[in-house]
Amino acid sequence: MDINRALRTVTKTGEVTFGVSQAKKAIASKQGKLIIIASNCPAKELKDQNDIPVMEFPGTNRELGSACGKPFSVSVVTVIKPGESQILSK
């Protein structure tokens, strides 16, 4: 699976949130299906405190933002609904 293509698809057709605080809300409400963290994200504690699968993106927050089709840096992406993406079948 091409992670960049999957991220672009889930961003366009599914439901995602961006940012550490949104990820923490998804953890608390058990809404998230997958959390994707940029390799340079300082919020590594997200990996230890939840039942939601966590994947480390093999790039920086700028590259993660670009992969999602956003013109800004993204440290954390939380997938709520995958849409047409196969991102949950990694």
Maximum CA pair distance of the chain?
30
- Taking alpha carbons only, the member of 74, 78, 31, 86 closest to residue 54 is 78
* DSSP strand pairing (15-18 vs 34-38): unpaired
- The mean pLDDT value for 60-69 works out to 96
Asked whether the beta carbons of 61 and 74 are under 8 A apart, the reply is yes
Task: Write the pLDDT tens digit of every residue in 13-62.
Answer: 999 999 999 999 988 898 999 999 999 988 767 777 668 899 999 999 99
Q: What pTM, to 2 d.p., does this model score?
A: 0.89
Q: Map out the domains of the chain as residue ranges.
A: 3-89
Q: Taking the CB of residue 67, how many other CB atoms lie within 10 A of it?
A: 22
CATH architecture of 3-89: 2-Layer Sandwich (3.30)
